[in-house]
Amino acid sequence: MLREFKAFIARGNVLDLAVAVIIGAAFGRIVTSLTDDIIMPVIGKITGGLDFSNYFVRLGDIPASYTGSPTSYADLKKAGVPLLGYGEFITVAVNFLIVAFIIFLLVRGVNRVTERDKAKVETTPAPDAPDVVLLREIRDELRRRP
């Protein structure tokens, strides 16, 4: 069983998938930072200080021992208050749209390069096989005879 497991792990597809997951996780963190630290503050500035992260609906009571701000989503969530955090959902949705758009651009670029390479291959005619060349020479020689 151990030998089968080693053979399974050593397959190229499994290793490629592992690398893709690791790179994807790192890419996700970059996009989250891009959204949280650059895009959402700009959107907030354009919309007059709108901060999506604190948009929520409280679904339960605040505990009596709670000492934080009643308008802070993070503090209320940490205290265990049931919340419907649609502002966080908006942020995550924007993250997804950014990732999807970047992946679209990457796939589009790869497709264009692949199509360009295919066009180069198709424009250069393949050399004739030696037997075809020989048959043509025989045909041409027979035509020249009286």
CA distance 61 to 81: 7
Percent of the chain whose predicted confidence (pLDDT) is above 70: 95
pLDDT of residue 40: 75
Domain around 1: 1-48
Within-domain flag for 126:
no
Within-domain flag for 3:
yes
pTM reported for the whole predicted model: 0.55
Residues 41-51 pLDDT 10s: 887 788 777 66
Task: Inform me whether the pLDDT recorded for 141 exceeds 80.
Answer: yes
Within-domain flag for 128:
no
Residues 80-118 pLDDT 10s: 899 998 988 887 787 788 878 888 888 898 889 888 877
pLDDT of residue 121: 66
Within-domain flag for 38:
yes
User: How many domains does one find in the chain?
Assistant: 1
Task: Inform me whether the pLDDT recorded for 14 exceeds 80.
Answer: no
pLDDT band, very low/low/confident/very high, at 68 (cuts 50, 70, 90): confident
Token pair listed for 78:
């940490």
pLDDT of residue 139: 92
Domain with 35 in it: what CATH number?
1.10.1200.120
Within-domain flag for 141:
no
Residues 15-32 pLDDT 10s: 778 888 898 888 888 887
Q: HEC string of the chain?
A: CHHHHHHHHHCHHHHHHHHHHHHHHHHHHHHHHHHHHHHHHHHHHHCCCCCHHHCCEECCCCCCCCCCCCCCHHHHHHCCCCEECHHHHHHHHHHHHHHHHHHHHHHHHHHHHHHHHHHHHHHCCCCCCHHHHHHHHHHHHHHHCC
Task: Inform me whether the pLDDT recorded for 12 exceeds 70.
Answer: no
Residues 115-124 pLDDT 10s: 887 777 666 6
Within-domain flag for 73:
no
Within-domain flag for 15:
yes
Kindly calculate the radius of gyration of the chain based on its CA atoms and give it in whole angstroms: 31
